[in-house]
Every structure is written in C-alpha cells, then in structure tokens.
Amino acid sequence: MDSATRSLKKYEAEPIAVKTADGSSGAMELFSPFGPFIAKTTLPSDVISRINQFVDHELAQAGVRGAEFILPQALVEEGGEHSLMQHLANNIIAYHEACENSAVVSVTIEAVWIVNQPEGSPSPVHFHSSDVSGVLYLQTPAIDVREEQRNYISGRNAGYLNVLSGGKQPLNKSLISFKPVVGDLYVFPGWLLHGVEPFRGSGERRSLAFNAMVEIKG
Ligand SMILES: [Fe+2]
C-alpha cells in the first residue's frame, strides 16, 4: 500500500477509535448527527437457505457463475410470516419509523433481485429509484488476504459494500466500507450512492437487492 492510499484510508472507511494521550480510549465522545441512516440487521438462516437453494438450482441450470436476475414473486412470498417479503417489510418499517418518526402506512417492495459474482466482477457506484433500498448477503467469497489489505483509492475495500455520501471534506467522513457476512441485511435510502469493487479470491459474492416504496401517515 503506498503512503497516499494509507493516508486516505486513515480518514475513510474504518470505524473511529479515539485515543487519549496515555493510550486509553473512551475519554472523548464523537457526535455525527447529520447524514443518512444505514441500518444493519440479520435475517434467519432458514430464509437464506431457501433463497440459496433456488439460486443454486438456477445457476446450475444456466451453467453460469456470474448472473443477475429477478427472484420469482412466489419465492419472495413463500413462508407466510417467515417469508423473505415479511422480513424485508418488517425491517423497512422499523428502519423508516426510527429515522422519520412517522408511522408507516404501507410498504411496497417493487423488485427483489439476485447478484451472483465470481472474482473480478464489479458493481459500479449507483443509486436506486426507490424510497428505501438494501442488500442481503447470501454467500460470501474467501477474499484473498493481500487483496483485502489492498485498498482502492479513498479506502474502498475489495468485495465490500462501499457506501458514499458527498465528497471528502475536512473533519467529515464520506465513505463507509462493510464486510459482507452471510445473513447480514443493510437498509438505506434509495438515493444513497453505493457500489462494490471487484475482489480476487475463491467462491462467489452472492447478494440480494431490493427496491421499496414507503407510504407514511399524513
Ligand atoms: Fe444497489
């Protein structure tokens, strides 16, 4: 890693640890009251397994590793109270109500799709045309350790979920990089820029994305 990249990474993408002069931590509180909320939660393994089973079958049928396709509505709704649809809706409502302090009247999940990527596949930075969007991790690759330590400019980690807001300014973070973990669900505003840099390593990065519209009371 060159010094310029290291210097940028210091300010971006990593959790903040404040140290005092004597090396102990916790003597200072940091407040960051502005900017979009990003929620992180975990979905149960039976939901993950159900979707993975379907995706494995689809990929085997097509004979491909890299693929992006819409999940059938019947699968999204399978399981009633324990369906993917219900889990997503519950979390979107909880997220939206916590952020906006208004009761949610309805959630419409407009699309749910799979992104299955072997090494070398990027997801360029983008936003969604929805009120709320998010990503659920279904499978994660073993990212080459050297690759994981090598960061892209500004500290974006290979194969991680990189979320960006605004440009780099003094005393302000503009990027956070989340390591994908199976079962983890991230929920964020549809307008928030995000993307994934290609990784090198074995296995596949399999995620599920969705677009949801939210109606609030009043
Ligand atoms: Fe996305």
CA of 208 to the centre of ligand 1 (A): 9
The number of beta carbons lying within 10 Å of the beta carbon of residue 9 is 20
pLDDT number for residue 25: 54
**CA 33 to CA 176: how far, in whole Å?**
16
CA of 162 to the centre of ligand 1 (A): 10
Q: Is the dihedral of CA 92, 94, 97, 103 positive or negative?
A: positive
CA of 119 to the centre of ligand 1 (A): 18
CA of 25 to the centre of ligand 1 (A): 36
CA of 161 to the centre of ligand 1 (A): 9
Radius of gyration of the chain (CA): 19
CA of 18 to the centre of ligand 1 (A): 32
Residues whose CB falls within 8 Å of the CB of residue 87, separated by 6 or more in sequence, listed in order = 43, 44, 47, 185
CA of 64 to the centre of ligand 1 (A): 22
pLDDT number for residue 200: 86
CA of 10 to the centre of ligand 1 (A): 26
Residue by residue, pLDDT tens for the chain (218 residues) are 444 444 445 445 555 555 555 655 555 677 777 889 999 999 999 999 999 999 999 999 999 999 999 999 999 999 999 999 999 999 999 999 998 888 999 999 999 999 999 999 989 999 999 999 999 999 999 887 666 666 666 677 888 999 999 888 888 888 888 999 999 999 999 999 999 988 888 999 999 999 999 999 87
Report phi then psi at 194, rounded to 5: -155, 160
CA of 22 to the centre of ligand 1 (A): 43
* Burial status of residue 149 (CB atoms within 10 A of its CB: 0-12, 13-18, 19 or more): exposed
CA of 128 to the centre of ligand 1 (A): 6
CATH topology of domain 3-14+34-216: Jelly Rolls (2.60.120)
**CA 182 to CA 136: how far, in whole Å?**
8
CA atoms lying within 13 Å on the CB side of residue 88:
28
